[in-house]
Structure 1
Amino acid sequence: MAVLRVTNLSKSFGGIQAIKNISLNIKNKEIVGIIGQNGAGKTTFFNLLTGIYSPSSGEIEFNLDVKIGSKDLKPYKIAKYGISRTFQNIRLFKNMTVLDNVLLGCHSNLNYSLFTTLFRFPSYYKVEREATEKAMKLLEEFDLADKKDELAKNLSYGEQRRLEIVRALATEPKILLLDEPAAGMNPNETNNLTNLIKWIRGTYNLTIILIEHDMSLVMEVCDRIFVFDHGNLIASGLPEEIKANKKVIEAYLGEEVKEC
């Protein structure tokens, strides 16, 4: 069953058409890769899915009943429906602690009134305690619990990447969008990330869509791949099919990728 359906999606910025009539379906619990050259429209596509941009035309349906491409559906509302993301350039609150960064993700699903918050009723402390327990469990699963009181800016690059994923998972998403999660990583870190993405899908039973230039990671972890080129969707299929697609090789992969 499709968890996300995109139909004739387009986005223009003035006279520049960044996304052109993209149509695709993504199934529940799939790991899907979006690849293409810089400027192919990949991040614009993510920004449309998360409400940062509104489509010029076309539809985005989540769980086949929520239209998330509406101009009045803001990013925080889309997050509440179950779509969360990381960014190509890490966007942590670097002067906040590791724990507080994760609690920000948890707070998107907390239910207490302004009145309860202002007067610190017992229910407020109960909800906050449960959020902290949830955040600590996530940090333990990602080997960051011992860093909970450190400022995010003091973590290593790889740890910051993991923390951003933890914060996204704290929102309890049904779809997790990863924007170039391997950017800046060395081969060992990339290998660990590959295993981590597989583990996340299996443990949290969610759909993962990732933008990535590291083709070894994409080919290893993805169930299907969509290829963008100058705003167009030029190919889709299984990793082996994409690797052998002549149009994809000419537009993006290059001959040497045949052996990956």
Structure 2
Amino acid sequence: MSVLTVNNISMSFGGVKAVSNVNMKIKHGEIIGLIGPNGAGKTTFFNLLTGIYSPTEGEIIYNFDKNVHPNKMKPHEIAAAGIGRTFQNIRLFSEMTVEENVRVGFHKNIKYKAISSLFRTLSYYKEEENADKKVMELLKIFNLDGKREELSKNLSYGEQRRLEIARALASNPKVLLLDEPAAGMNPNETHELMELIRWIKDKFDITIILIEHDMSLVMSVCNRLYVLDYGKLIANGTPEEIRHNPAVIKAYLGGEDEAC
């Protein structure tokens, strides 16, 4: 069964179509790569999936226990329904600690009411203890537990990337969207990220969709790839199929005589 269905989605800004008649069907547990040249519409597409933009045409459906329709929902409602996301430009709370940043992700899963917080009831302490435990588990997974009290702005670039993914996972998503997770990483960090993405998919039993320019990463970690060019979907298939697809080669290289 498809966990995400995209039917003829388009997004126009004035007279410019940033996304044009895109269709997708993504199954539970897949790692999907969304690739294409700069300006192809990839981040715009993520903004449509998360409700930041409403499509000018078409429909998006997340097929969970109760279907989620981003066309009709606000971003925070979509996040609460099970969609986690990182951003192309890291968006952490720079003046908050590493631990506090991840803890923010648990907000939607806190079950005690305001009155329990005010009077510090037993349910309040139980929920807080459970949140503390889960925060530390995530920090250990991402090798950030030793910096739990460090301000996020003081982390290295690679550590900030890992922290943003940890925060997204704290919301317990069913679908995780990663926007250029390897950006700014060295080859060793990229290899570690590759292994981490595979592990996350299995550990958390989720679907992952990632935008990435590092072809070695997407070709190694993704089950299938979708390719955008000028907002249009020009190809989809396995990494091997995409590697030798003439339309993809032309979009990237401007010719048809070389492989990606």
Q: TM-score, normalised by structure 2?
A: 0.95
User: In structure 1, what is the Cα distance between the partners aligned to 2:233 and 2:21?
Assistant: 8
**Could you tell me how far apart the structure 2 residues matched to 1:28 and 1:128 are?**
31
**Per-residue deviation, 1:238:** 0.3
Which residue pairs with 2:45 in the alignment?
45
Shift of 1:16: 1.3
CA contact (8 A) 2:70 2:78 kept: no
Structure-1 separation of matches of 2:226 and 2:170:
27
Contact 1:55 1:69 in 2 (8 A): no
**Secondary structure of 1:66's aligned partner:** coil
In structure 2, what is the Cα distance between the partners aligned to 1:75 and 1:162? 22
1:80 paired residue number: 80
1:7 matched to 2:16? The reply is: no
Instruction: Classify 1:67/1:253 alpha carbon distance in 2 versus 1 (closer, same or farther; 3 Å).
Output: farther
In 1, the alpha carbon distance for the partners of 2:110 and 2:222 equals 33
After TM superposition, give the deviation of residue 116 of structure 1 in Å.
2.1
Corresponding residue number in structure 2 for 1:198: 198
2:145 corresponds to 1:150: no
Contact preservation (8 Å) 1:59, 1:67:
no
What SS does structure 2 have at the residue aligned with 1:108?
helix
Partner of 2:236: 236
Residues 1:257 and 1:205: Cα distance change in structure 2 (over 3 Å) = farther
Which SS does the other structure have where 2:106 is aligned?
Answer: helix
**1:35: how far off?**
0.4
Matched letter for residue 71 of structure 2:
S
CA contact (8 A) 2:68 2:81 kept: no
| Counterpart-to-counterpart distance in 2, 1:171 and 1:257 | 43
Secondary structure at the residue paired with 1:21?
Answer: strand
1:247 aligned partner, one-letter code: A
1:69 corresponds to: 70
Query: Is 2:127 aligned against 1:127?
Result: yes
**Structure 1 position 23 matched with structure 2 position 12:** no
- CA distance in 1 between counterparts of 2:67 and 2:258 reads 39
Q: Distance in 2 between matches of 1:235 and 1:253?
A: 15
Name segments (4+ residues, structure 1) moved above 6 Å. 254-257
CA–CA separation in structure 2 for the residues paired with 1:189 and 1:16: 37
Shift of 1:38: 1.1
- Equivalent residues of 2:68, 2:78 under 8 A apart: no
How far apart are 1:125 and its partner, in Å? Answer: 1.9
How far apart in 2 are the matches of 1:178 and 1:130? 26
Deviation at 1:256?
A: 9.2
* Percent of residue pairs identical: 62
One-letter code of the match for 1:24? Answer: M
For the 8 Å contact 1:107–1:131, the answer to whether it is kept is: no
Distance 1:16 1:224, change over 3 A: same
In 2: Cα distance, 1:257 partner to 1:207 partner: 32
Structure 2: runs of 5+ lacking an equivalent: none
Q: CA-to-partner distance for each residue in 1:45-72, whole Å, 9 max, x for gaps?
A: 000111111111111111165242324x
5+ residue gaps, structure 1, are: none
Q: Deviations over 1:121-169 (max 9, x none)?
A: 2211221111111101111111111111111111111111111000000
* Secondary structure of the structure 1 residue equivalent to 2:11: strand
What TM-score, normalized to structure 1?
A: 0.95
Give, in whole Å, the separation in 1 of the partners of 2:101 and 2:113. Answer: 22
The code of the aligned residue for 2:53 comes to: Y
Corresponding position of 1:60: 60
CA contact (8 A) 1:168 1:176 kept: yes
The alignment covers a number of residue pairs equal to: 258
Deviation at 1:257, TM superposition (A): 7.0
